[in-house]
């Protein structure tokens, strides 16, 4: 009789272990999420919804809350897609991150020009920034856990990116944006988000920003390391050093846009500067029919290396978000070279979880 009970117990354990998802395991330690497009949200394909809801407990809208999308004219907002994304999350008991309030790219086109096409004054831009943030954050008050308040505001050398916000308002725009967001939803978490955050000069600049914002009485809860990684960048020691440095500033660390670019770069570069574009060439698109065995091995090893770091630093990390649901959804199929077939995420083009996820989950058991 004991042998039968033992057998049944082992079977139950085996079944239980193999069926466990990232949401059920990693989700116990920190939020595990995905960026979702409006195509994902409105999809009638049950495989898409189960891929999102079974594997993740957090989502971030990939594009529909960006300035140009949600606030296309000074006196007109476009709420439908953002509303649908927030409702999708609530219906499926998922956390939502708002992305992103202040970004030089995809900023509302009208934001910086007056009716005669001239650059607006500092006072006018501050007033416009106030109304944008107040209306967007205020609409989802109590429903969005946290906001990427400022996105990609430093150069890799640690200098301020000379965006229109910086040029017209000055560096005070950081403090203004964080304070406006906090006033609009006092309970929302507030984040600074950027890419190439393993670079020491950028890391130091962001640490200075966090300390400066805190000294000015601003709420800042976390720093987002976007983590648009490659097979040979960033250096893992630098990556880990950044996690420790940001945590030492008294904030949580989030991996906000994790993916691994498996395709050759037109020129060796890291980052995610969306303005970079290169002409298609078939030598840059070697895996149209799937990764080779060696490329798949490299993919598995690289993702495991990053998740080993996340497991080691799980007390400092509050969220890891993949930048897309499946390989088919990844922005890396079109950037920096249009028309390629990339394999950058943990769910494949058939919306099945890739085999490496089983090994990733074991790190968190
Ligand atoms: O919605 C329009 C559509 O109406 C139009 O027909 C089509 C063709 O022009 O463009 C569509 O908008 C595109 C949008 O994605 C939605 O698909 C924009 O052109 C395109 O530039 C935009 O790309 C996004 C990019 O940010 C710029 O906003 C990517 O999907 C998105 O993955 C990427 O994400 C950024 C993060 O927000 C910030 N960190 C870097 C990351 C990668 O660049």
pLDDT in tens, 277-288: 888 989 999 999
- Quick one: pLDDT at residue 266? 85
Does any ligand 1 atom lie closer than 6 A to the CB of residue 106? yes
Strands 228-230 and 222-225 come out as: unpaired
Residue 22 has a pLDDT of 98
pLDDT for the residue 105? 96
| pLDDT at residue 180, rounded to an integer | 99
Residue 328: CB within 6 Å of ligand 1?
Answer: no
Q: Kindly report, residue by residue over 190-209, the tens digit of the pLDDT.
A: 999 999 999 999 999 999 99
Per the structure block, which two tokens stand in for 183?
A: 């006033």
**69 Cα: distance to centroid of ligand 1 (angstroms):** 10
Angle at 59 between CA 76 and CA 102, to 5 degrees: 45
φ, ψ of residue 144 to 5 degrees: the values are -110, 125
φ/ψ of 339, rounded to 5, equals: 80, 30
Q: Quick one: which atom of ligand 1 is closest to the CA of 106?
A: 28
What is d(CA 103, CA 237) in angstroms, rounded to the nearest whole number? 29
**E strands, the chain, in order:** 31-36, 58-61, 95-102, 146-151, 189-194, 222-225, 228-230, 252-261, 317-322
Is the CB–ligand 1 distance for residue 257 below 6 Å? yes
Mutate to test the pocket of ligand 1, among 101, 256, 274, 328 (most ligand atoms within 8 A of CB): 274
Cα distances from 300 to residues 254, 346, 355, in angstroms, run 22, 10, 9
Contact assessment for residue 316 and residue 245, using Cβ atoms and an 8 Å cutoff: no
| Among candidate residues 152, 156, 179, 183, the one with its CA nearest the CA of residue 166 | 152
Query: What is the 274 CA–ligand 1 centroid distance (Å)?
Result: 9
Q: Which two tokens stand for residue 204?
A: 């130091």
| Nearest residue to 240 (alpha-carbon basis) of 316, 299, 322 | 316
The residue nearest atom 16 of ligand 1, judged by CA position, is 63
Q: Looking at residue 40, what is its pLDDT? A: 98
pLDDT at 88: 98
What distance in Å separates the CA atoms of residue 307 and residue 365, rounded to the nearest whole number? 13
Say what the pLDDT of residue 275 is: 76
Which 3 state secondary structure label does DSSP give 322?
strand
The pLDDT, as a whole number, for residue 15 is 44
Are 313 and 239 a contacting pair, CB within 8 Å?
no
257 as an active site residue: the answer is: yes
In this prediction, residue 277 carries a pLDDT of: 83
| Backbone φ, ψ for residue 71 (5° rounding) | -140, 65
CA–CA separation, 297 vs 269, rounded Å? 22
Q: Is the CB of 63 under 6 A from ligand 1?
A: yes
Q: Is 152 labeled as catalytic in the residue annotation?
A: yes
Rounded distance between C-alpha atoms, residue 227 and residue 319, angstroms: 12
**Catalytic entry in 62, 90, 172, 257:** 257
- Count of CB atoms within 10 A of residue 140's CB? 21
Sites in the chain below the pLDDT cut of 50: 14-17
Query: What is the residue with the minimal CA distance to atom 15 of ligand 1?
Result: 63
Atom of ligand 1 nearest to the CA of 151: 38
- Residue reference for tokens 């949401």: 23
């Amino acid at each position: 009789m004991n042998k039968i009970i033992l057998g049944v117990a082992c079977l139950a354990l085996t079944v239980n272990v193999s069926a466990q998802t990232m949401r059920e395991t990693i989700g116990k330690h920190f939020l595990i999420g995905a960026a979702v497009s409006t195509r994902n949200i409105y999809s009638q394909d049950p495989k898409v919804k189960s891929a999102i809801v079974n594997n993740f407990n957090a989502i971030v809208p990939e594009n529909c809350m960006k300035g140009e999308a949600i606030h296309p004219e000074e006196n007109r907002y476009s709420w439908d897609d953002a509303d649908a994304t927030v409702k999708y999350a609530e219906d499926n008991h998922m956390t939502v991150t708002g992305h992103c309030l202040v970004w030089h790219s995809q900023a509302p086109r009208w934001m910086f020009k007056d009716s005669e096409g001239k650059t607006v004054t500092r006072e006018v831009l501050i007033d416009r920034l106030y109304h944008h943030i107040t209306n967007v954050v205020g609409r989802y008050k109590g429903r969005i856990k946290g906001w990427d308040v400022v996105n990609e505001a430093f150069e890799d050398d640690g200098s301020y990116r000379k965006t229109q916000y910086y040029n017209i308002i000055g560096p005070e725009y950081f403090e203004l944006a964080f304070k406006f967001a906090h006033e609009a939803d006092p309970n929302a978490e507030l984040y600074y988000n950027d890419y190439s955050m393993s670079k020491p000069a950028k890391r130091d600049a962001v640490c200075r920003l966090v300390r400066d914002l805190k000294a000015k009485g601003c709420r800042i809860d976390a720093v987002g390391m976007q983590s648009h990684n490659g097979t040979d960048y960033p250096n893992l020691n630098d990556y880990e050093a950044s996690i420790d440095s940001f945590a030492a500033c008294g904030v949580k660390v989030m991996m906000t846009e994790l993916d691994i670019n498996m395709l050759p770069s037109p020129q060796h570069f890291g980052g995610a500067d969306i303005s970079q574009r290169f002409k298609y060439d078939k030598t840059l698109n070697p895996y149209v029919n799937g990764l080779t065995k060696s490329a798949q091995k490299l993919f598995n090893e690289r993702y495991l290396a990053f998740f080993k770091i996340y497991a080691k630093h799980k007390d400092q990390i509050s969220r890891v978000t993949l930048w897309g649901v499946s390989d088919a959804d990844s922005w890396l199929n079109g950037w920096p070279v249009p028309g390629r077939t990339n394999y950058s995420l943990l769910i494949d083009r058939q919306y099945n979880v890739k085999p490496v996820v089983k090994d990733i989950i074991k790190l968190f058991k």
